[in-house]
Structure 1
Amino acid sequence: MAWEIARPSRASALHGVDMAGFRIHGDGPAQLRAIPHPAVTVVVEFGDRCFDVRDSEGRSHSGSLALGLGSSPSPVRVEAIECVQVRLSPTTASAILGFPHAELSGKLVGLEDIWGRDALRLRERLHESRSWPERFARVDTMLSARLREDHRVDPEIAWAWHQITLSRGRLRVEHLAARVGWSRQRLWSRFTAQIGLTPKRAAMLVRFDHAVHRLVLGHPPAQVAADSGYADQSHLYRDVRDFTGTPLTSATGEPWLAVDDRAWPSSTKR
């Protein structure tokens, strides 16, 4: 398949928002996987919609959609797609999507079900746009217009998420709870309700994301396992299979991971 990838020339005006543009086409349908990533993903489609994604319950979705933090890959059947993909920090997602992020955890939801006619109007405007910079600007304007301060996560939860990402998933829940002055149970409960994953599972996802991108770049598995805080290579292999549904040798060739250094360069600098 041929992949055209575009990046904005400047960062979004909103904190915790990153965007990339995709135009994918080929001679026939291709089976891909959307690999779990430590961000809420919003896809705004504006082409012929020759693709579909299956959720964890086997239901098929096509068109613009939102995907919450998850623990398993989503099969994607692609013939052709044109879209702007947005990655939202889970500390920002609720304020932009307009409802608790936990309700989206591990699920695929049509963007029209979340934004109503705004989603349709945005799709039409992207379709009419003549360039990627114009499309990125339109998406950024929509995200800014929908931002609701009253849906932001607790400052303690935002801090805990930041520490998890900063440590690349190597902090223990007890340490985080002690730093914010909460009990382990309270942090576990509030974090899960607002982020959509338990603190432990969120840390596992962040650690996996860091490790798998190093593997894609060709780093030796033994070194990646040691540097990423895994007990041994077997532990790393289990996590890769858990999150990708394939063994390590296959996972490192997954197209969505292989293009990350072009689509999301800031997140693949290891």
Structure 2
Amino acid sequence: MQATWHDRRGVAVWDVARPARPGRVPGVDMAGFRDRGASPAGHRVVPHPGVTLVVEFGAGPLLVEHSAGREHRGSLVAGPGFGAGAVRVRGERFEAVQVRLSPPAARAILGASPAESGGAVLALDDLWGREAERVRERLAGAPSWEERFALVEAVLARRGEAAEPVDPEVARAWERILAARGLVRVEDLAAEVGWSRRRLWSRFRSQIGLPPKRAARLVRFDRAAHRLAAGEEAARVAAEGGYSDQSHLHRDVAEFTGATPAAVAGEPFLAVDGIAWSGR
């Protein structure tokens, strides 16, 4: 599937492609992006509960800018939350395959724990070495998005088969957090998997990339952000989303994005989800 995403002014911003068939690698979702060059200032990143892998190819660079003044160029990996805070992405007619990995799958596929990034943005070359460049070259030479998706999927499948998976207890705790939409207590998670709270905290953080309580907050925030983007009132989102009040929601949104709920509701990063990520 291919479509063009337009902003609220009707300007074409991105061409977006989706694989024609479901992927065969668990915990992996892919989309292809071609930047139209219509938004040179870029877009705010809205954190989501997954690990982001972006393999860039084509003529223009993909740029990630942090509020502290740091900048990343090119293919990247970002841990859960995508470096929460005031982060922006922009490009100059770049093309890229973006992969969203569930944190349990990411540890095996990337060859490193998401905890090693601390949620920050890392160069893919630092994790994969020369293989990252070989994948980029093959993507640039592929004649269609379907062939690009098949190429990336084959690489991810091979890497996942050769690595050690996360502990079953950690995977179970992660799935429980997702199922509960973040509304779950760490004590209850530990009891469900038969571990102490301290052991769950340690193993979960080392294998998923953030502590279980932070993971639950991120999942809860992700749900709230998409409800705001769908036009629901902040007061209702807060009341039904597990927040003590609207101010509590406001603080969480500010911490994760550096913006207000009203600003986040209009972000293209969320609006494109219905096209790019069919599992939404």
Is it true that 1:21 corresponds to 2:40 in the alignment?
Answer: no
Q: 1:211 to 1:118 in 2, by over 3 A?
A: same
Paired residues of 1:98 and 1:148 also in contact (CA < 8 A): no
- Deviation at 1:55? 4.7
Where does residue 104 of structure 1 map in the other structure? 117
- Deviation at 1:73? 4.3
| Structure 2 counterpart SS, 1:26 | coil
Say which of 245, 254, 260 aligns to 2:258.
245
Q: Which runs of 5+ in 2 are unaligned?
A: 1-11
User: What do residues 58-90 of structure 1 show as CA deviations (whole Å, max 9, x unaligned)?
Assistant: 432111111111333422232322101000000
User: What do residues 222-264 of structure 1 show as CA deviations (whole Å, max 9, x unaligned)?
Assistant: 2211221111111111111111111111111111111111111
Where does residue 43 of structure 2 map in the other structure? 32
- Deviation at 1:27? 4.7
Where does residue 48 of structure 1 map in the other structure? 59
Q: How many residues align?
A: 267
Q: Which runs of 5+ in 1 are unaligned?
A: none
Is it true that 1:3 corresponds to 2:14 in the alignment?
Answer: yes
User: What do residues 154-190 of structure 1 show as CA deviations (whole Å, max 9, x unaligned)?
Assistant: 1100000000011000000000011111111111111
Matches of 1:243 and 1:28 in 2, distance apart?
23
Matches of 2:39 and 2:271 in 1, distance apart?
20
Say which of 140, 146, 171 aligns to 1:133.
146
Is it true that 1:153 corresponds to 2:144 in the alignment?
Answer: no
Q: 1:257 to 1:7 in 2, by over 3 A?
A: same
AA in 2 matched with 1:110? A
Moved more, 73-82 or 5-14: 73-82
Paired residues of 2:56 and 2:62 also in contact (CA < 8 A): no
Paired residues of 1:169 and 1:207 also in contact (CA < 8 A): yes
Matches of 2:23 and 2:131 in 1, distance apart?
20
- Deviation at 1:114? 1.0
Counterpart mapping for 1:54-69 below 5 A: 54-55=65-66, 58-69=69-80
Paired residues of 2:111 and 2:163 also in contact (CA < 8 A): no
User: What do residues 198-241 of structure 1 show as CA deviations (whole Å, max 9, x unaligned)?
Assistant: 11110000000011101101122222112211111111111111
Say which of 182, 205, 212 aligns to 2:225.
212
What percent of counterpart residues are identical? Answer: 55
Q: 1:73 to 1:85 in 2, by over 3 A?
A: farther
AA in 2 matched with 1:10? R
Moved more, 138-147 or 161-170: 138-147
Paired residues of 1:69 and 1:106 also in contact (CA < 8 A): yes
AA in 1 matched with 2:207? Q
- Deviation at 1:127? 0.8
Moved more, 104-113 or 205-214: 104-113
AA in 2 matched with 1:108? V
Where does residue 228 of structure 1 map in the other structure? 241
| Structure 2 counterpart SS, 1:235 | helix
| Structure 2 counterpart SS, 1:106 | coil
| Structure 1 counterpart SS, 2:92 | strand
Is it true that 1:12 corresponds to 2:23 in the alignment?
Answer: yes
Matches of 1:19 and 1:112 in 2, distance apart?
20
Matches of 1:242 and 1:38 in 2, distance apart?
15
- Deviation at 1:151? 2.9
User: What do residues 83-140 of structure 1 show as CA deviations (whole Å, max 9, x unaligned)?
Assistant: 0100000001010011222102212111111111211111111111111111100110
Paired residues of 2:170 and 2:203 also in contact (CA < 8 A): yes
Matches of 2:278 and 2:236 in 1, distance apart?
22
Moved more, 39-48 or 221-230: 221-230
Q: 1:208 to 1:27 in 2, by over 3 A?
A: closer
| Structure 1 counterpart SS, 2:93 | strand
